[in-house]
Each structure stands twice: as structure tokens, then as C-alpha cells.
Structure 1
């Protein structure tokens, strides 16, 4: 009978085991210290104690700050996190409220040294060496940064930057970090003769110089176009690319050469010149890439938001159709997504569709239509928070095809700045084709009907796939290193309509050239123009209510209520009736519209178009 293992000692040689345990514990301590050696600094914490602040960061940001202390001279709270990724994540939390104040996070002064694997004491010389190198290689007159043959630079070699593979791999990210801090205005970069076989080591360049126009990779070891996958959808302004003396362009097969050109043009949407050869018509390309939505009327607050929003939406819809998993880099822990279904809007059947083909079964389980859901718990359960939940929601929606390239005029967009969060709001309207059933099905509807008379017949039935119209609103915030973060994503699905209000095929009715006082019909026989054709009838509650049946005729001037007539002059009374006829607003709201528009006919119509979608149903006849 063996007694080995009985009792807490587990047998003999306890002293040896204790020594072994102590050795392992010491190794664990050393490993922990090494793994938590990326410095960060925190200001704005003084509303409470430093320990309370560190605990708050752990709970709120899910990041542990270790070995923290307070600088008695500056009052800055200093500590360490595991790696640069956690430090970057904390930077995104700058502004979070703690004890009545806003916390501000920044990387510690020895961050560059840590990236290079050096000590804090060598941080100053490391930063100074790289800074001097950048200043010597930068040509501000032509906005060019010459990074050719970096490994042959005598000063960098003297500092040991290329002494080992691990240190060499960290050099370029550190170089880009300092270049970003120097705020160099760069349009061209020369990376020739750097022995590059892929772009992983220099991937951070797209964040430092996102608007780069000219790039030379001459004399490297790039052998496949697949290496550019790292930069896909990131260098959206790249105009010229030089790849001479790389294996990738040393083929003589015309088919392979053409495939390489097409692949590179897909990676870089504004690429015009490759190795000195013009690939496509630049003016036409600029017109298409500047406004991928065609020539229809759009709204952008300024040129910067226009460029940012059009690039964002174009790339987003492409990935939404092809690979939604790649979109998850845009969503963070507090990002929100919700989808709502609105079947109440009128729609026109087209393209051989019939009303029986319109099926919303794939959307009904997750719809957060607040006019249909009154329970607070149910409302909250249909909001996806964080990248994991959002991706799950994406998988439960049908696969789609947005014909943005083939039919850009069927889409419209508005974009304006959102000052409270230093972001922008992007609203997109259009239609899509359902290409396939969802990757993940939601069984809630079938489970709720389990046991019903027809359950066995219908539980495996797939909803019909057909065209749908949509409205989607993003709140987009700036992320670290020039990236973008989607804070809020609202998707509205509605029946497909062939009526596209923002195109010339359905022009708005022009107002009469006569003055309001002479153009008003008092007999009620004048045909009412549909001014909503100039806006989007699918977003106006009044249009949805009035579509099934003609609206009641508005009263002529003689029949206006006495309390209204007594306060208005005759031209104002006539204008009020005209506005009622054209907008189908009731008297109360039509009167408010006229007053707020200073009794100007054209201004009244403009204000109505801008606010029609936000008016309640009771505002209309």
C-alpha cells in the first residue's frame, strides 16, 4: 500500500520542492516585471487618491497599471502597463471622467527606448539619434522623406540599431513614432534598397502618413502582390508607386503583368502611375474617387469631412459585402450597434418583384423599432455593445451586395461634424440586394412558436431574399495614429422602392414664379404639388401616413378659423393656405413653419424639407 501523495507534503523531499517553488516564484516575479515595463503617465487624477485612480482604471478600462507612483514635482501619476498596445488603448480613454475631473493619458518619456529594447537611461540618446536622422533625411521643399538604404547609415549602425534581428524589427515603428511627433508634412517617401521582403516591419507608415501620394520601394525583395494586403484600404491617396528591381515586376508574361496592375489598383484606389507607366485616366479617376456617389445632391460640412466620409463609406460598404470580420477593427468595447425594421413606409414594386416576395424574417428577431417594443429590458437587449456582440449581430443579417460602383446615383449621403466628441456623423441612404442567408441564424422566432400548430412545417423555412432599402447612420471618432472608431452604428431596413428622390429622374416640383399673394388657389381646384419629391419621401412620417389615401382638402382663406385670421394679414393668410396645400401639414404646424421662416415662401419649403423626417405624425393632415 502506497502512501505517496497523502497529506499536504505530498511525500518526501519537501525542502527540495520548496526551493524549486521559490525559484519558480522568483522567475514569475521577474517575468511580471519585464512584461509590465511600458511607461504611461496620468494627469487629472487629483480628485481622489492615486490608488483610487488606479482601481478605477482597472475597472473601467480593463487595464492594470502596476508599479505606480506620483512625481512630487509635477504631480503626474506614473506607472507601467504590459505593452504598447495597452498604452495605446489607454490613450483612447483620455477624457474619461474620474472624481469630477477628466483623466488624460500619455506614454512615458522612455517609450521609444522600450520599443528599441533599451533602458530608460538611454531613452534620450535613442530619441535624439532618430530625430537627427529624420531631420537630415527630410526635404521640406518637396515634402519628401528619404529612407533609402537605412541600414547603411553610419550613425544608426554606431548606435547598434541593426545589431540583431529583434532590435532591427523595432527600429521602424520607433522611427514612425518620432516622425509623427515631429509632425513632418510628407507627401513622398523613398524606401528603396532596404532589403524588404514584406511590409510588416513598415506597416505603421500608413498611420503616420495616411495621405501619402508617392512611394518608392525600388531595389527590395518584394515577390508577390499579396504583401500589399497589409496596406489595403489604408493608402487611399497614393498616386505613384515605384517597384523597379523587385522580383514582383521581373516577369515577362503579359497576363501576369496585367494581373499585377489590376491587383495594385484594387489595393490603392487612386493609383495612377506604376513604374512610370500611366495606368488610368487621372481626371476621371479623381472625379469618381472624390465623389463615389455620383453627381446627385449631397451634403458635406466641409472638404475634409467630404474626403473622410466618402472614403469611409466606400470602404465600409465594400467590406460589409465581402468580409464583415475585417470591419471589427473599427469597433471598440463601448461601440454600439442596433438595427430596426420599418415596414410601414409605402413602396413601389419593381423589377419583377411582388409583395409576396418581400420577406423580413431575417430582421424581425433583432429589430429594435421603438414604436413596436415598449419594454425597457427588451429595448436594451437588442443593442449590441462591444466588438464581439456587434460581430454576432452582423452574422445574423443576410449577406448583401451594394451596387455603389455600378449605380452610384442610387445612394445619397450627408455628413457633418459632431463637436462634443470631435467626430463626424455620416448618414447613408440607398438600397442593397440580399445575396445569401445569414451566416448565423437567430432561432428566437422559431423557439417562441414551438408547440404551435404549424411549427413543424415552418420552422425550417428560409426567408425570401430580395432587394431592400436602408438608412444607416454612423458616429465616427478619431482613433489612435490616424485610425477611425465607430462609436454608434444605427441601421434601418425598409421595403425597397424604385423612387430615388435625389436623382433627376424624379425632379421636385418647382414653386410658382408668382408671388404668394397672387398664386394661391382659394377654390381648392388647383392640383397640389408634391414638394416631398424634392426630399426623401421614405423618411417623412407624413408621406407614410398620406400614401394610402388622398389627404383632405385644406380650407380656403375664407374658411380659416377666426382666431388665426384676426392675427394675420391677407397675404399671410394666403401664404398659410398655400403651405398647407403643398406640405400637407395641419394648420397649427403650417403656421409655426411660416412664422419661423419669416413668412417667406421659398424659405418655408426649404425648412420643411430639412425637418420633415423629424415631425410627428400628428403634424400632418
Structure 2
């Protein structure tokens, strides 16, 4: 925390030491009075809820935020009286602090939420005794009136209208509009435009909220935060502007025991960068589970002052794993910029398939894709026992209406889908519930039997025929936990594969028919491989070509050509001179297929023999019996 020139607290970053709202610290931009009552037990949480706030403040999205305005007096300007400023720390200035006060009033009144922020300008001002009389445009008056009770330079200032009441812009406001106006006022006086910081700390101590009796009952308190987030959404034209306007939020000092009442923050501000949860009552990691993997852009997180520190002293490791871009936790470095770059990079090498949507972690998704399709072609029974368990589900559907390759020579033939239709689960064609249920296969044996009924296949080589594939992957939370230990689910992968395969003639082993396919996997932890398939959905269609996978330029797929022929192209780091990355990738893939070893073990084997493929095979034969089980992607033959 640091103070700006006006004495306002901001969530200044980078954090050094403990950066957060201290215990007992009230709202930095709201009123702070001695003797204020303690927060209502439970803070802004409540076990049950009434509907008043949501009914008034979270209506449909097409309800526009109607700004109140103040009618103008003579000359079109509105007169306001500012009192209490003469007792400030700035009273010793040459002008008694007037110029500093005016600058502060303009700045704070301009810190408005919304896509079109209005910069407030005080047109005229004069001192009358202990009051400062200012004149502003009618559209600016409301912003200044909302500052009534704000703290400035060590004192609280009063801002009141002279000569007329606040009027609605178009007739009497409804109760819903008044409630929205109140909530928006809370947001705006707690928002700092310069630092993009929204300070929602100590909400139960906020004087205006206390006057509205928000925290007098738990039921109303529990609805307050979701309603306020709804108003925040309605203040912007689109999510991009909202995410750009608010990058830091503090929820410190709110007596939060879990995230039940504030969980909507992750939906309203998913790209939040800095978050302060200090001095609450989070006692266990599970109380924070609903925000796992939610704030993917979060860089700084503060959790000090929670019972969690005593109950689970090693909680930091789990928290860091939840947020892939987290740089600092409680003011201590969690990752370097280099760590972030390695962790979140788009996978391209050694995986040959280039996709902007392939996000891996520890090579899990890459290894799965390499292993699965090789196993599907070679031994489906072994594949089923390796990746599927008694809770895994598999189904496939045939799409006979899909467009075919316009440049292809293959044509549709009568009965070409005969071997697939018996168990096809095309929900557009299969209407009866029993038929739908019977065509979803669950459990290792059922999956193995269903896959055994499909024709023998051969998929293109991932290394040498990368243009025929498109693979996308991302980590997802909430994957069902087969052990039942995590009711909220566990982290897993969603992998989508688009490609083609050839059906093989059972007598000759030669390709006889090409098909296109789409396959969607949901993976979770577990199983003999450390990864289990939770769900596997396969769509089969006539061959449609691979034009959709083609990059705009061939250069995106190939290594750049040498710029000179006078000297050989430098080898990639860790590879012998003269061995290029593409060749190394193919050697690794071939060794994995021949030996059954994992990617890392195959690469290490080649490294140890100087990338001599024959030598690597011989070395594998000598040490095969001594290798651990995790050296193989499937049990060795």
C-alpha cells in the first residue's frame, strides 16, 4: 500500500513486503469516523438471502444505467458548498489549501466507472468563511455530491447542494434505479482512476452502506456483492473496457470465511491482475477452491492475516499452482518472468502441430496425444486398460452429411458406413432414450469392446505429416474426481483433435478408405499412466481434406532455410552439429513407438548415445529390464 499526494491509499505494485490493507484500516476513499461499529458478524456473507437487492439492482442487462443529474441555476451552473476542509493538513498552505482542495475534488469526481468517463471541471470558486463555494456544470454536480464524507488530507469534507434538490433525468426514479445509483456511488468513490484500483475492503464499516442498513441482516448482506458486480457490468459497454478499467481489487477486512458471496468477482473481472484478500477468515484451502484457475491473468495475491496461515502452513504451493501467471504471493516472489514464459508458452517444439490454442503443462497433453493414437492403431485393448477405467465414457457418432474434400477423388458409396452405424450415437437421428443410453459405453471392458468393433485404422505420423492434424488443448477446472476426495472436482485437460485416418484392408494391411474425424477428450489425474480419460467423444465423417489446417504461409510449418551455403546451419541447443530439430523430433517419435518409452526417456536415451538411433535401440535393449514403470507410456511388450 502506498499513499498518493492527496493521501489516498492505492494498491501500488510491485509489492515490497506486505502490500495490503492493514488490520483495522477503513475504506481509503470512503468516510472514516472514530468509534465506528465493528463489522456485522460474517461481514458480507450470509447463509440465506432475501431478494430485495437483486430485485432492485440486478435486473436484465438491457436496463441502462440512468444517471441522476442536478438542475442548473442562473448561467446554467450549479452551486455546491464544501465544508470541513479548513481543518485539513493543507490549511497551512499560502491559500489555506484551496488550490489543493479544488484539484482533489476534480480528480476524485472524475474517477467514474464506465466506457465514457467525464472529466469534472470546477468553473468558479470562492471562500465564504469556513466554506468553499464552487460552481460546476449540472452533469458534473452529482460526481461532487457523491464525495460527501470523503477523507481528504486528514479530515472529512462535506459537499452539499445550494439552491435546489437533486432531480432525476427523466421523471421520478424507480426503486431499482435508486438502488443501482446507490451501488454505483459506492463503486465510484472506492475506485481510483489513475491506479485502476477498486477498494472493496471493510465494506461493513462504510458509512453509506450502514445508513442503507445493508448489513443489518445476513440475508440482505449476502445479496449485496452480486448486485454490486451486476452494476459494475452495466457501467461498461463491453467486457474488454471493464477489464482494462479495473486491474486491482481489495477485499481485505471483510470477515470472509469463504468465497460464497464474492465468487462473482471472477466472472465480472476475469482478467484481474492484483487481488488483496488479507485479514479475512479463510481457514482452509478448500474455502478458496471456487477461484482455482479462474483468474488466469492474476500476478499478485495477498492472503496474509487469515487463519489459513496457521491451519495449512504449506498452502503457498497449492495457491501458486492454481494461478499460472502469479508472480508474487504475499509480497514474496512466486515465479520469475522466465518461469512464466516457460509455463504458459504455446507448445510448438518438439510437438510438430502448431496451434495458438495448445496450452500444455509438463508435457502431459503432448504425451497423451502421441501415445493415444499410436495405441488406437496398434492395440486398442491395451489402450483401453491404459487410459480408461470403470467410470470412463466413450461414444462415437457418424455424420454422413458433412462436406467432403472438393479436390478429392473419393466418392461416397452405398453401405460405406455399415461397419459404424450399429453403435453410432448421432443424437439428431437417435431419438429414443434407451437407444441413446445403450450407445454410450462406460468402463474399461465396454470401451475396449466398442472400439474393437470399429475397422482397423492407420493415422498419419505426427512428426512427418503434421499438416494433416490440428490439436487444441487447455487446462480446465472441475473435472469429476473418481476418488470422491474433491467434491468440487480436480484440474484436468480438454483436448480437441481434428484429423484423418485410413481404414486398412484386413488381409493386405493396405489403406482402402480415408475418413475425417473430430475427437474430444476430457482428461483427469489417475490411472496406471497418471492420466485417465474421463470422457471420449468421437465424430466420424467422410474425408473432408486438410485445407482448413493449412497456415497462411508455409514458413509457419517449416524451419527457415539457411541464409548462406558457406557454412552449415548451427545446430539447435543440445543437439549434435548437423542434426536439425525436425530430424531429432522424428528420431524421438520413432524410438517412442519402437520401445514404448515416454518422451523424456526416449530423448534422454538418444542424448546418452549422441543421437545415434541404432545405438539408442541397442542401449534400450541392455537396460530395459532395469527401467522403472514410469519410463513407459504403456506396459512394454
Q: Shorter-chain TM-score: what band?
A: 0.3 to 0.5
TM-score scaled by length of structure 2:
0.36
Which structure ranks higher in relative contact order (CA pairs < 8 Å, sequence separation ≥ 6)? 2
